[in-house]
Structure 1
Amino acid sequence: MKQVIFNETGMPEDVLLLEETDIPEPKGHEVRIKVTARNINPSDVMFIRGMYGITPKLPSSAGFEAVGIIDKADEKGTLAQGTKVIFTAIGTWKEYVCIPAQTVIPVPQEMPDEVACQAFINPMTAFGMLEYSGLKEGEWVLVTAGASAYGKLVIQMAKSKGIKVACTVRRDEQKASLEKLGADLVINTEKEKLQKVIMEKTGEGVSVVFDAVGGILGAKALASLKSGGKLLAFGALSLDNIPVNSGLMIFKNLKIEGFWLTTWIESLSNESRQNAFKTVLGYLMKQDVKVDVAGTYPLEEFQAALEAYQQPGRNGKIILK
């Protein structure tokens, strides 16, 4: 089978290699999945660079999220051969993956691979953060990197709950598409002063910030909170930490918390976890929430896929099939 691996951490274009290897045999509690599609997420790139919360055990394959068909069932027959499933694993940029049967999620055969392969990390993170935040109808949330796949999902899910959404972009041409999705306020931080616009439009600031960027933009987002507000940090696209103003934190009684999907899912009961999966898949199946695809590439053309992924202003996910 083909797989994309790296023997050392570094920039993906420098360290990733395509190789042929044997098809793996699953253990008794595992299923073997023939992977049919995977999307490229920021966490994939950070993992390859050695900058993620999980340290790669080298040599390692890349990728955390995928969809595929069960090629060989586990000994208990938990799921039948031929079942379409989504899953997360360390190393999905390969043709076959063996993982515990209990960790995969069946999805309808009619769900397109391009949708199914991005049905876990971003949709579940968007859903989880809205649940965890405690935001109520009529309250404001500010989403940095609003034009990202995650940002678009949060806008749509928040609107279904009556939550008001402000988001940041860096290009004027990104505004209209986010407003069409339901964003109440879209701010181009290259041209507009974030805190000034937020205070003018909301009156007192936002209740919660979902920050994927960090750095200076994270600090400006923090300053856009109303008294008693909270910033949930779940990414660091700028690769810089947020410079924190202690006086602001003290006198406005602000909070900064981290959010990692893995930790949130582990905190749920089995029933709550299944309900969350069912709700998110329901959104996607009914197309109440839509996901975008900017390009699709065969696995062996991963370098071209990475080039497309790095294009500024990209509108949608890059898929490896």
Structure 2
Amino acid sequence: MYNTALVYRSFGEPQTVLHAETSVLAPLPAGQVRVRMRLAPVNASDLIPVTGAYRHRITLPTIAGYEGVGVVTETTESDAHLLGKRVLPLRGQGTWQQYVDCPAELAVPVPDDIDDTLAARAYINPLAAQMMLEHYPAHGQHVLVTAAGSDCAAYLAQWARLQGAKSVTGIYRSAIHARRLAASGVIPLADTDSAAITQAAGKAGVIYDATGGTLADMLLQSMPETGQLISYGLLSGQPFSIRRRLPAVHWFHVRNFLDAMTAEEWQQVFCTLWERLRATPVSEVTLIDFQQWRQAITLYQTPGRIAKPLLAF
């Protein structure tokens, strides 16, 4: 049996350094399950490592992709109950390939009422939003989110409102997002409106920032000393400066919390997530054949995009 995977052997622009490579599948290691992939999304967190931004923790060559959904096609005897089940094959190999091997205890079963397009993107953005709100709550705060057109910011905004935030403001880059934000109860704010951004930051108790750069600098200079800025991305590609001790700045990465989780705790996290995702409006998707992966990356990088590209295997 053969497997085709998107591999990078050097760092650089994803369209340039990613290559589809086909090889014979090795025997399934003990304690693992083999998953035939159905769908895998394209996220910033998939593409940024390919550029070399995290080269200190990546060993080349490696397979791209961090999440997706598929069906278990092979197990060892102790995990036979998973055979034929839909799962999220997480925290093992890269997911941009036809077959993924992952630790059986970390494979997350998908409830029957969750469709593939939602299950495929139930990890990176929803889990990050859920964990940020647990560690840095929004209750009773004026909340501000940057990159408000992104999926993670959308989850943060909606769940912050449910958690009891006084208000939620979303800073967006493309005007196409303004109406959707307003319809969901989020105050839309263009990233070009510096005066309004300064005013909104001036009363913000919690800011969830995925942008960094000059925008993060502006927010830190404007927000009250009692506030907290949670930095969980640098979509601008630029860092920001911390010129004073307060307000507090926290750097958030899901991976920093995973090693301390037991397998049972890991599975319980998703029980909570499934309940939240059932009740949360999500973005549209565009299915693109795995063989056309370059097209999927191009779509993801298109300004003003409103649909999430999913690789379909």
TM-score, normalization by structure 2: 0.92
Q: What displacement does 1:54 show?
A: 6.1
- 2:112 aligned residue: 109
* CA positional deviation for 1:290: 2.3
Tell me, yes or no, if the aligned pair for 1:66 and 1:87 is still in contact at 8 Å: yes
In structure 2, runs of 5+ residues without a counterpart are none
In structure 2, the residue matched to 1:121 is 124
Matched, 1:293 2:284: yes
Q: Alpha carbons of 1:180 and 1:305: their partners in 2 closer, same or farther (altered >3 Å)?
A: same
Q: How does 1:163-178 map to 2 (within 5 A)?
A: 163=165, 164-178=167-181
Equivalent in the alignment of 2:48:
46
1:264 aligns with 2:257: yes
Q: Give the C-alpha shift of residue 205 in structure 1.
A: 1.4
Gapped runs of 5+ residues in structure 1? none
1:224-303 correspondence to structure 2 within 5 Å: 224-246=222-244, 249=245, 253-268=246-261, 273-284=266-277, 286=278, 288-303=279-294
Q: Work out the number of aligned pairs and report it.
A: 308
The alpha-carbon deviation at position 317 of structure 1 amounts to: 1.5
Counterpart-to-counterpart distance in 2, 1:221 and 1:268:
33
Aligned residue runs from structure 1 range 22-171, under 5 A: 22-52=24-54, 55-77=57-79, 79-88=81-90, 89-136=92-139, 138-163=140-165, 164-171=167-174
1:181 Cα deviation from its structure 2 partner: 1.8
Contact 1:233/1:257 (CA < 8 Å) preserved in 2? yes
Identity of aligned residues (%): 27
Provide closer, same or farther for how the CA distance between residues 269 and 208 of structure 1 changes in structure 2, counting only shifts above 3 A: farther
**Judging changes above 3 Å, is the alpha-carbon distance between structure 1 residues 306 and 278 closer, same or farther for their aligned structure 2 residues?**
same
Query: Is this contact kept in 2: 1:71–1:81, CA < 8 A?
Result: yes
Aligned equivalents of 1:227 and 1:56: distance in 2?
37
- How big is the shift at 1:275? 3.7
Could you say if the C-alpha distance between residues 193 and 268 of structure 1 is closer, same or farther in structure 2, counting changes exceeding 3 Å? Answer: farther
Aligned counterparts of 1:34 and 1:312: Cα–Cα separation in 2: 32
Q: CA deviation at 1:267?
A: 4.1
Q: Write out per-residue CA displacement over residues 232-254 of structure 1, whole angstroms, 9 at most, x where no aligned residue.
A: 111111111112233xx4xxx31
Structure 2 CA distance for partners of 1:311 and 1:244, relative to 1, 3 Å: same
Report deviation, 1:268. Answer: 4.8
**One-letter code aligned to 2:295:** A
How high is the TM-score relative to the length of structure 1? Answer: 0.90
Match of 1:179 in 2: 182
CA contact (8 A) 2:31 2:76 kept: yes
Residue 306 (structure 1) aligned to one of 285, 297, 304 = 297
RMSD: 1.9
